Amino acid sequence: MDIETTRRRLLETTLNHVPFDGWSMTALQRAAGDLGLDAATAVNAFPGGPAELIAFHSAEADRRMLEELQPMDLPAMRVRDRIAAVVRLRLEQNAAHREAIRRALAFLALPQNGPLALKCLYRTVDAMWYAAGDTSTDYNFYTKRLLLSGVYSSTLLFWLNDESEGSAETWAFLARRIDEVLKVGGSLGKGVKALLDVPDRLFRFRPGSMRR
């Protein structure tokens, strides 16, 4: 079994233990035991511990989201409907592991984990815009990701506590948030454009560098 397959199997099994043991080495080692693997194999698969495990979970969620979006005819939709569909799919795919996600957010909220939280969030919203067909390279690149970060983060928190049938209240909340950002997006975009128009010697990065 190659290392990537081992990591995926360990992650899937660890998710069953996270509600009880949190994102911890204990949860990871118990998952290894369930799979008949020794503790050393689990540690070698995730030498960065819980932080690396959470980062891998986020990356895997991005990958599965993009895979499941491929058959959907997103280009035929309005942009706002594309974004709503992408965010909704991302949440629905993880519905079985709400408690694990709640605990991951608590872990990422710790001050020392701030950089990891931002990295995971940026990668997710960038993947969402990529799936939605975004090809912008000017100031719109930044405003779109900034605005979607707010939409996705607030909707995620709402969804974690939503007990309505079929998460109907979450989807209504998502629609309202998209309406709100469409209203402020224009003025925010102008502000970011003004920032990006300063001389290159003062501000030296472009969308491509952020992707890297």
Q: Coil, helix or strand for 70?
A: coil
- C-alpha–C-alpha distance, residues 161 and 12, integer Å: 23
Do you know the residue count of the chain?
212
Domain co-membership, 81 together with 18: no
118 and 20 assigned to the same domain: no
Whether 193 has a pLDDT exceeding 50, the answer reads: no
Do 164 and 99 fall into the same domain? yes
32-83 pLDDT, tens digit each: 999 999 999 999 999 999 999 999 999 999 999 999 999 998 889 988 899 9
Same domain, 39 and 63: no
The proportion of the chain whose per-residue pLDDT surpasses 90, expressed as a percent, equals 69
Cα–Cα distances in angstroms (integers) from residue 55 to residues 11, 116, 126, 165, 206, in the given order: 11, 7, 15, 30, 25
Residue 52 lies in a domain: no
Range of the domain at 34: 1-47
Phi first, then psi: give them for residue 135, nearest 5 degrees: -125, 15
Residues 109 and 196 in one domain: yes
pLDDT at 142: 82
Q: Which of 38, 97, 36 is nearest to 64 (CA)?
A: 97
- How far apart (Å, rounded) are the C-alpha atoms in residues 16 and 13? 6
On whether both 64 and 156 belong to a single domain, the answer is yes
Count how many domains the chain has: 2
- pLDDT for 166: 94
Q: Identify the pLDDT of residue 196.
A: 40
Same domain, 63 and 41: no
Q: Which of 19-28, 131-140, 168-177, 184-193 has the least mean pLDDT?
A: 184-193
CATH number, domain of 124, equals 1.10.357.10
